[in-house]
Amino acid sequence: MPTCVWPPTPWSEGYVNITLDPEQRAADLRARDADARADEIAARGDEISPAQRSRIKRAREALVEDGVSVETYRRIELDEALARLV
């Protein structure tokens, strides 16, 4: 299977941190005087339960090799892709 290596960026990691640790992300933003954005994140902090966050964090850690997210994928034929849409 082909492998893609996606180096983490501040943007991609920021989105991950919003989802997996909204309290910390909001605190970081407040420290930078970005209170409006911090309030938005804090208001949605309970959308994902702590148990789900822990499960997602563990699964995400399994995708990291040498500090870089690694994903594998497989190619499928057009017919199979269309069949999956049904």
Q: Is there a contact between 56 and 19 (Cβ–Cβ < 8 Å)? A: yes
Q: What is the pLDDT of residues 41-78, one digit of tens each?
A: 989 888 989 999 999 989 888 888 887 777 777 788 99
* Residue 5 φ/ψ, nearest 5 degrees: -110, 120
Does the pLDDT value for residue 6 go beyond 80? no
Number of domain units in the chain: 1
Grouping H, G, I as helix, E, B as strand and the rest as coil, residue 10 is helix
pLDDT reported for residue 78: 93
Q: How confident is the model at residue 27 (pLDDT cuts 50, 70, 90)?
A: very high
- The answer to whether the predicted template modeling score (pTM) of the entire model surpasses 0.85 is no
pLDDT reported for residue 84: 92
Domain of 34 in residue numbering reads as 3-85
